[in-house]
Every structure is written in C-alpha cells, then in structure tokens.
Amino acid sequence: MPSDQPVGPPDHDAKLEAELAAETCAECGRVLAPQAGVRLGSGQRFCSTCYADLRSHLESIADEERQEISYPGALLGAILGGAAGAVLWWQVTVLTHVSFGLIAVAIAYLVAWGIRFTTGGKRSPGLQAMAVATSLVSFMAGLYLVNRSLILGVMRSGDGGTRLPWMGSPSYVWQVLTARMNADPAAFLDLLFAAITVYQAWALTRPLRIPRQTR
C-alpha cells in the first residue's frame, strides 16, 4: 500500500543530512566546512575569528597573571598555608593515634590558597616553584611532628615519664623522619603522599595554558 506521506527529493535529503552532520563553531554557532576552523585538544572546534579572539583573550589574562607579583607576600601566604596543613595532619594523628597520610595532601591546597590569597590570584612559574618547595618542606615538617607523636605514644605505653626533645641534631631529625619506615612497611606510602602533595602544589599554581590546537 503506497504511503500518503510526501517524500522529498534525493538532493534535498542529502543536503539536510549534510547540514545535520556539519560541525559548528563552539562560540558563534557558524557551520564550518570539513577542513575549516581550528579544533582544540579538548575536541571543541572554533571558526578562525572566534579562535583568534579566544587566544588573544587568554594571552592577555596569562600576561596579567605574571605581572606585579608580590613575592614576599606570596612566600608569607605559602608558609602560613603549609604550616596550617602540617599542623592539621599532626593534630588529626594526635587525636586518632593513626597517621592518615592522605590528609597531608591538604598541605598543597593550603599552600596554593595562601599564594593566591596574598597575590590576588596571580600565577607564574616562580610562584609554581615556590608552591612546590614550600609544600615539600611543610610535608617533611608534618611528617616529623606525626612520627614524633607516634614514637612518644609507643614509649609512654611502657614508661610514662619518657620525653623527646622537640628538635635535635640533624641525625636525630633524620631518625625521627625515617622511624616508621624501619618498623612499618606501609609507611613507605608516605613517599607516595609526598609525591601527590608536590604534584598538587605544581598543578594548583600552574600558569594559564593556551589551548593546544589540533587538526
């Protein structure tokens, strides 16, 4: 039985299918020819005009982020953030008597927040290096406090009058830092958490990147 619905001409159907399959600019919505425009690494495709505007806008933001940076203020913010993260990790350990190394990753976030707060959200390779170095030093300080508290807990369980100095010679500090590694194989996870902390500090303060174009 013949259908009552009209059937469009073949050329009209082919044109309609081509329009539906055609890609459009992610910004202005203009239909793009197969080889026209610019495709970014994220998969988005822009016409040449919109891509030029986008790139110019991002470059101006990136340039502004690198200018008029107060490095002394940034260092102060980084140190305060790192100290807060180390103390947080230490106090959680004191309260729970368990070292949750994953909490140490918060050091990187607090360092990055301190830098952003004191610089107004600036980003630069110099700030990135500062964040990485401060996060690593803060992680080591937190690990020292955590291990010292755990050692004290073990020693006091047998001798309530035992004391440990807050600080001592470099060899004493090293022994405290590595104490758990000699007794608990799982303590080597601290190296993993240290790596994660450093990576997060690097990523959170990374300068703005211009989108990479592909074809």
* Whole-number pLDDT of residue 129: 93
Cβ pair 99, 189 in contact under 8 A: no
| Sign of the Cα pseudo-torsion (154, 158, 163, 165, in order) | negative
CB count, 10 Å around CB of 204? 18
Does residue 176 sit in the same domain as residue 85? yes
- Count of the separate structural domains present in the chain: 2
First to last CA, the chain: 50
Pair (175, 80) in one structural domain: yes
pLDDT per residue as tens, the chain (215 positions)? 454 555 545 555 555 444 444 677 777 777 776 666 677 766 677 777 777 777 766 666 666 556 678 889 999 999 999 999 999 988 887 787 666 767 778 899 999 999 989 988 888 888 999 999 999 999 999 888 888 887 777 776 665 556 776 777 787 778 777 777 766 666 677 788 888 899 999 998 888 766 665 55
**How far is residue 137's CA from residue 145's CA, in Å, rounded to a whole number?**
13
DSSP assignment, residue 17? H
103 lies in a domain?
A: yes
pLDDT for residue 131: 94
Q: Count how many Cα atoms sit within 13 Å of the Cα of residue 180 in the half-sphere of its side chain.
A: 22
| Residue at 51 is within a domain | yes
Residues 198 and 122 grouped into a single domain: yes
- Tokens for 38, please give them: 């610019």
Do 60 and 128 fall into the same domain? no
Residue 1 domain flag? no
Tell me, what's the pLDDT at 16?
46
- Judge if 56 and 154 occupy the same domain: no
| pLDDT at residue 20 in the model | 43
Note down the domain range covering 170: 71-204
Query: Residues 118, 176: one domain?
Result: yes
The Cα–Cα gap between 180 and 99 comes to 11
Among the candidates 46, 65, 84, a domain finishes at 65
Q: Is residue 90 part of a domain?
A: yes
Tens digit of each residue's pLDDT (9 = 90 or more) over 160-172:
556 776 777 787 7
